[in-house]
Each structure stands twice: as C-alpha cells, then as structure tokens.
Structure 1
Amino acid sequence: MGSQSFTSAPLEAENPFFRRALFTFSGAHFLNDLVTTGMVPALVVMYKHALHLNYTQSTLIVLVSYFTSSVTQPVFGILTDRKPRVWLFSFGVFLSIAGLSLTAIAPSLTWLLLFIALSGFGSGVFHPEASRGTHFASGYKKGLAQAIFQVGGNAGQAFGPLMIPLFLVHTGIHGLIWLLPVALLSLILTAPLLGWMNSKVQNIQRRRKEIAGKNHIPGVILLVLVIILRSWCQVGVVIFLPFYMKHASLEMSELLNFVFVGAGALGTLFGGMISDRAGMKRLLVVSMFLATPFALLLPHLSGWLAVLDLLCFGFSVLSSFSVGVIYMQKLLPKNIALASGLSIGFGVGAGGIGSVFMGGVSDMFGVASVFTILSFLPMIGAVISCFLPNEKRLAN
C-alpha cells in the first residue's frame, strides 16, 4: 500500500479496504476533535475564571461550539450530497484548530464566543466529507473502517482534557495561540488525499441512480434520539466532573475525564469490530443497557471505585459511536454525507444544548443534580433502540 498514490482509484478497486486513506482520515479526526469536543469542554473551567463567568455563561461556550458544528454538518451534508466539495475536508480541520487558537486573544465573552463559533463551523464542514471518504475506503469492512475513523476522534476527545494540565496550566489561556502551527500541519496531512477523494466522488456521482435502497425516516428519528441521549451523557460527564469533584485538583479531574473518554475510544474500536458480526441494532441496545448501572453508581462512588466506574461507563456508552454512523448511512443510503451530519453533528449539537440545560440546573439545584439526571439517560436510550428497524432488512 505504501508505494501507491492516493490518486490511484484502480488500487482501491483491487483492495477495497484502503488502510492508508483510513488512517489519514482518523489522524485528521484526532486533530479536529482534540481542539473542539476535547479541549473546549475542558477549557470551560479556565474560561470561567479568566472572564469571571457564571455556570450558565460558561456552558454557553460549549453550546456555541457544538451548535455551530451541529447546524453546519447536516446543512453541508445535504449540499455536498448534491455537489461534493472534497476540499472542505482539509479546510474544515484547519479552521477548527485555528478558531480555537484565536480564543487566546479574546478580550471578552462576545469575542470568545465568536472565535469558538469559527472553530465549531470548521468542525461542521470537516465531518461530512471525512465520513464520506471513510465510507469510500471501507470496502466490505464498514464497522471496522468507521471504528478506525471514530477512534481518531474519540482519542482526540480523550487527550484534549490532558492538554489542560500538561500545557495550559503553565501558559494560561494565551498559550492557545501556539495551536496555529498545528492548524498548518493539518493541511500538510490532509491535502495529499484530496485527489483520491475527488476521483471516488466523481465515480459515485456517475452511478448515483444505481444506488439501492430508500431512506427510512422513522428509523432516522429514533436513532437521532438515541444519539442525543448518548451525547448528553458524554458532555455531562466531561463538563461537570471537575465542578462535581471540588476536592480534587484540576489535573486529577481532567485525568478522570481522560479515563472516561479514553475508555470510550477503546469501546468505539471494539464496538465497530463486533458490529460487523453481531449486528448494529443488537450492539446499540446492549451497550446502552450495560451503561445504565455504571451511570447510576457514578454519583455514589469516590477514589479508585469512581475511576473503575468511569472506565466501564465510558467503554459501554461510547461503544456504539461508530455503529451509529454506519446505522444512519444504512437508513439514508442515498444521502451518505447527510447521514454523517445527523449522526455526528446533530448529536454533538444536542450535547451543547444539553450542557446549557444542565448548567441552569446546576445554578438552581447544585452540580450533584446533574449526575442524577445523567443516571437515567442510558436506560431511556436503550429502550428507544429496541424500536429501531433491523439493519438486515435495510438495503446494503
């Protein structure tokens, strides 16, 4: 594989599982989610103290980041399904990193939200094209390929909080400006893949009318609800764990977040591999049910038991992450980019809305009440998952 060019479409036809492209998509996903869904929620504590914000104002940062990402993903998914624009893959990841780096010079909450929105917009335009490219490079191993792509993003989310104690604690918010070279590095990483992506897109566009299957809207609605509930679980833990564990240092709180999201990255990889054999609906239902007892126990544990619980909670609740994307592509076979926008973008945006809701709850009733709410979300998601259509009855 290493001796071939990205632009070699015949090679991909002979070897449907295109590893080199998949790991490039995964690496770009790592950089994008490192700064957006990884660092932004973890930075809320520092933004709060730097600009003297309350809990509701603090969670507005996450809402703006997630909402701009979620709105642009379905919109660009629809637009690029009609007329693909592969350059958005490179431009999006560059903008997401550059936008966050500019928050280093934000003098007020208004400017901070503007730069955060810029970063969220970049993430939004990145995901549809990146997910479409992953679909092209997956061959017959849809679950494994999507897992490789999503693990890159989940790993970025996991390492994002670790950037806080390792780097920003020593430099302050102003140290974020040093992410600009990383934004330039992302262009070097992603640009060589654009020629290959364009050739695949042109081929698919010529055969668009031959694609089998029709969109399953009721299933899409149910799956979006499950994705929203899962996103609320993830965002709730990442944002409010540092506030909930006041006795712990910032470094320890972010380390616990790393345990939660890092376990989720492992769960995503194993979930993607298992789903190719066990079935997507079955894995979705089982993973959400398994997450329920760990969510219920979390507010009542401390020390190493809390670490172990977070490990199991993150692994189980996020093991369906890549499966949700493939499932949505099955439900929307004629709109692959839109499927990505809904399964990744809309869920992320809903997480931002949920964070503001939970911020308001925290201001009124205390942070502990948030974890009471989180306890019941996986169970509700598992019940809804039972009513999803079986993917074996959907066209491949």
Structure 2
Amino acid sequence: MSTNRNRPLTLLSLGHACVDVYQGAVAALVPFFVSERAYTYAAASGIVLAASLLSSVVQPLFGALTDRWPMPWLLPLSALTGGTGVALCGVGGSYTLTLAAVAVSGIGVAAYHPEAARAARAASGSGNTGMGWFSLGGNVGFAAAPLLVAAVVATGGLRASPLLVVPALVGAALCAAAVRSSRNGVGTARTTKASGTDDWPSFLRLTGAIVCRSIVFVGLSAFISLYVRQRTGGGEVAGTAALFVLYGGGALGTVAGGRLADRYGRVAVVRRSYVVTVLAVAGVVLVPGPAVFLFVALASAGLYVPFSLHVTLGQDYLPRRVGTASGVTLGLTVSVGGLATPGIGALADATSLQTALLPLIALPALGRLLLAGLREPASPTPAPVAPRRPATQV
C-alpha cells in the first residue's frame, strides 16, 4: 500500500532529475563555448541569459494556467522540449542559433515546473519531507549535469551535444508513468480546493529573498568553473569538480532542509541558511588556493537547504494559487538569476572575474533582511475529495 501510494512521487522525483539536467547543463557548457568558440565572458553569459529570459517570462503564465486546469500532459512534453533545446545548442557555430536553442530549452523547463510541483505537493501531502525528496530529484539532475556535459562534450566536442537528449527521453517516460499512476488513483495529483487566505505581502517578500538567492546561485553556476581554474591552476578538471561540488551539495542540503524544518520550523531554517550563504560566498570569492572547494561546498549547503522550503512556504502563503506559487518559487526565481549574468560577465571583461563576483556576497544578506518578520504560515487544508470507485475487474 505504502509503495503504491509513493509511486507517483517517486516517478515525479526521478523525472525532475532528468529535466533539471538541462538547467545545469547550460552553465556547464559555458567553459566549452569559451574554449572552443572563443566567446567572451559577456557572450557566454548571454547564453545563460537566453535560457533564463523566456523561462522567467512564461513561468508565471504556466503557473496560472495550472491553477485553472490540471495539465499533466505538460510533464512529458516539457521534458522533451527542455532536452531538445540543449541537444541542439552545440550543432553548428552560429551564436544566434545557439541562443535560440537554449531559449527553447528554457521554455520547456518553464512549462515543467509549475505542474510538476503542484502534482508533487498533492502526492506528498502537507509534509516538508515529501517535497524535499521531489526537490532532491531536481538537485541531483543539476549535480549530474557537469559530469554528463564533460563526458559528452570533452570527448566529442560541442558537435556531440545531440547525445545530451538522452535524459529527456528517460524523463518523458517517467513523467508519462507518473501521470498514468495518478489516473489510476494511486496518489492522485489533481488539484483540490484549499481553504485559507492568500498572503501576498509575505509571498512577495519571500519572492524577493529567493531572487537574491537565484542571482547568487546562477552567477556561481555560470562562472565558478572558470574562476576555480584561475584560483587553483587546476585546469578543466578542477573547474568541473567545483561545479559538481556546487550542485552536488544539493543532494544532502535539500533533504536536510526538510528534516531541519520539521524540527525547527521552515522560516527559521531559511533565515539561518541565508546567513551561512553570506559567509560561504565571501570565502569562495576571497580565499585563495584549494580551500576554495571547502567554501564552494558550504555555499552549496547554504543555497540548497532552503530550496524545497521556499516552495512549500510559497504554496502555503498562496493556498488558493498553488500553481502560481510553484511557478514563482520553483521556476521563475530559479531562472531569473540568469538575467543578471550578462552584467557579471561584462564586469568581468572590464575588470576581473573576482571583482565581478564580489557583489554576490551582499545579495544573501539582502535576502535575509527581506525574510525578517515573516511568520510561519499554516499548511492549507484541502477540501474533502470524493473517494474513487474501484476499477471493475473484467
């Protein structure tokens, strides 16, 4: 019984891992664009911007649509779209076509997250741990991205990028299986009417804090590989290892965040995580030599511990608009950090990469100020749902 009940959440978590490979893959491809195509920092960060821009614009739209109509068919379709865009970004040498390909991938990722987060919350109930496992799936995908990209592109060059479509095919199959499980009544992912009042002021303050987190995370994602190469002299291996540490910390951080929140409360854990992030990013930017890897790991923990808590807090601040809250907290504010990367890249071209990363120290401090005074919201109480009739045996 328990296994059947958890099946949709398990499938959604695994599918989330496959889809979020493509959020991590764009940043992981940046060093290869710089080395193979001689892009400047600004041009390379423009690719991250292209992946983020359309995603940031359309994500709330998909969230609002899923509030009105369940759209489970979006899950496999968006997985395929996200993977196809990244798979095509290395084909040909045109900068414009590369931008278009990663933009298509960004739209696919944008379409996936609101519906997937809504379905995962319905499948996991109101606990923090279930959403933690769903978020863990995405973070595992992030962590796997630099290893996958390095294995494919370092061996065959950017022209081998079509091989990167494989996780999308697997993810689409997993999402389709999750949809079938829901239709069979096992852990239904249908939206239910929730009681409560939408708290927009608290939600907007939370959103501002997550935007600060997003800029730090995407900025580090785009440039940590190149930066660690410079700081340690370790070459391509050191850069890939640093990006893997940044993403890989999410595996422990996300699950730990759910468990810490069950013990100390979500808001308290989120606030402390932002304080840790300030110190960790300062270490990444300012401490020389191999010790940078320790601070990258600490930054990863500070950035990832509140990740799933952002989502459930947003959903509970807007209990009547769970899809919108999911689209913003899980999608928009993850991708919006890409909007700042061209500025970081331009500053790096004009000065140095270290100087360009210095502003990232202040952003989690600003996020912590925005979180001051937030109260723990009550979990929404779903309206009773009529039991499903058992299927007739033939």
TM-score (normalised: structure 1) = 0.89
Select 1:123's aligned residue among 109, 125, 142.
Answer: 109
Q: Aligned runs of 1:100-249 on 2, under 5 Å?
A: 100-141=86-127, 143-197=128-182, 208=193, 211-244=194-227, 245-246=229-230, 247-249=233-235
Output one character per residue of 1:303-362: Cα deviation in whole Å (capped at 9) or x when no partner.
442111111121122210000000000111011111111002211232111212211221
Residues of 2 paired with 1:354 and 1:199: CA distance? 44
Q: Is the 8 A contact 2:257 2:306 kept in 1?
A: yes
For 1:1-396, what aligned pairs fall within 5 Å after superposition? 1=1, 4=4, 18-35=5-22, 37-141=23-127, 143-197=128-182, 208=193, 211-244=194-227, 245-246=229-230, 247-392=233-378, 395-396=380-381
Note if contact 1:70-1:341 (Cα within 8 Å) is conserved in structure 2. no
Within 2, Cα distance between the matches of 1:391 and 1:150? 20
* Cα distance change of structure 1 residues 58 and 343 upon mapping to structure 2, 3 Å threshold: same
Aligned partner letter, 2:39: L
2:113 maps to amino acid:
H
8 Å CA contact 1:105–1:174 kept in 2: the answer is: yes
Instruction: Say whether the 8 Å CA contact 1:129–1:337 is kept in structure 2.
Output: yes
Alpha-carbon separation, structure 2, partners of 1:237 and 1:264: 14
Identity fraction in percent: 28
> CA contact under 8 A between 1:150 and 1:321: conserved in structure 2?
yes
List per-residue Cα deviations over 1:79-117 (Å, max 9, x = no partner). 121112110011111111111111232430111111111
Superposed displacement of residue 388, structure 1: 2.2
Give the drift of 1:203: 8.9
Write the distance in 2 (CA, Å) between the matches of 1:182 and 1:316. 28
**Matches of 1:34 and 1:270, distance apart in 2:** 21
Quote how far apart the aligned CAs of 1:61 are: 0.7
Find the aligned partners of 1:243 and 1:106 in 2 and give their Cα distance. 24
| Contact kept? 1:96, 1:120, Cα under 8 Å | yes
Equivalent position of 1:15 in the other structure: none
AA of the residue aligned to 1:65: A
TM-aligned CA deviation for residue 197 of structure 1: 3.6
> Cα offset for 1:265?
2.7
- Alignment TM-score, normalising by the size of structure 2: 0.90
Instruction: Note the C-alpha offset of 1:383.
Output: 1.7
User: d(CA) in 1 for partners of 2:164 and 2:225?
Assistant: 24
How many pairs are equivalent? 377
- Summarize the Cα distance change of 1:21–1:171 in structure 2 as closer, same or farther, 3 Å threshold: same
Partner Cα distance (1:265, 1:202) in 2: 26
CA RMSD of aligned residues (A): 2.1
* 1:42 CA displacement: 1.2
For residues 275 and 245 of structure 2, the distance between their equivalents in structure 1, rounded to whole angstroms, comes to 20
User: 4+ residue runs of structure 1 moved beyond 4 angstroms?
Assistant: 1-4, 198-205
The equivalent of 1:13 in structure 2 is: none
Paired residues of 2:285 and 2:357 also in contact (CA < 8 A): yes
Q: CA deviation at 1:2?
A: 8.2
Unaligned runs of 5+ in 2: 382-394
Note the alpha carbon deviations across 1:131-162, whole angstroms, 9 max, x for none: 01111111242x11111011111111112112
Q: How far off is 1:199 after superposition? A: 7.1
- Structure 1: 5+ residue runs without aligned partners? 5-17
Residue 159 of structure 1 aligns with an amino acid whose one-letter code is A
Structure 2 contact 79–109 (Cα < 8 Å) conserved: yes
Please give the alpha-carbon distance, in whole angstroms, between the structure 2 residues aligned to 1:140 and 1:187.
Answer: 26
Tell me, in whole angstroms, the C-alpha distance in 2 between the residues paired with 1:198 and 1:225: 37
* 2:90 aligned counterpart, secondary structure: helix
Q: Which amino acid aligns with 2:157?
A: G
Q: How far is 1:69 from its partner?
A: 2.0
Q: Do 1:71 and 1:345's aligned partners in 2 also have CA atoms closer than 8 Å?
A: no
